[in-house]
Amino acid sequence: MLDDRIRSFEGQPQLYGTQFDWDENGELNPKPMDDPELVDRRRAELGLPLMADAIARMRASLDEPAPSDLAQRRAEQGAWARRVGWRQHPS
């Protein structure tokens, strides 16, 4: 999870699909992944459940609605990541 969290903060694709966010359809889904076709194999190597099961569990545990303005949410997340040093400031 930590590897995926760091990758997500840095704007890189994650390896195991442990980090989630809202998508354009108002659904909670994993953030972008590196080679999604291999994610279940990677997850199995660590003893994690299949990605489909993880998605179902995450959605079932929702306690907040989708953001009303996804673009604003993403802009705020990006600004935070740059401000605290996870991403470089644009030139």
pLDDT value of residue 90: 63
DSSP letter for each residue of 3-72:
HHHHHHHTTPPBSS---EEE-TTS-EEEPPBSSGGGHHHHHHHTTPPPHHHHHHHHHHT--SPPPS-HHH
Tokens of 78: 């990006």
**Mean pLDDT per 10-residue section of the chain, whose length is 91 residues:** 96 96 95 96 97 97 93 95 88 48
pLDDT value of residue 88: 85
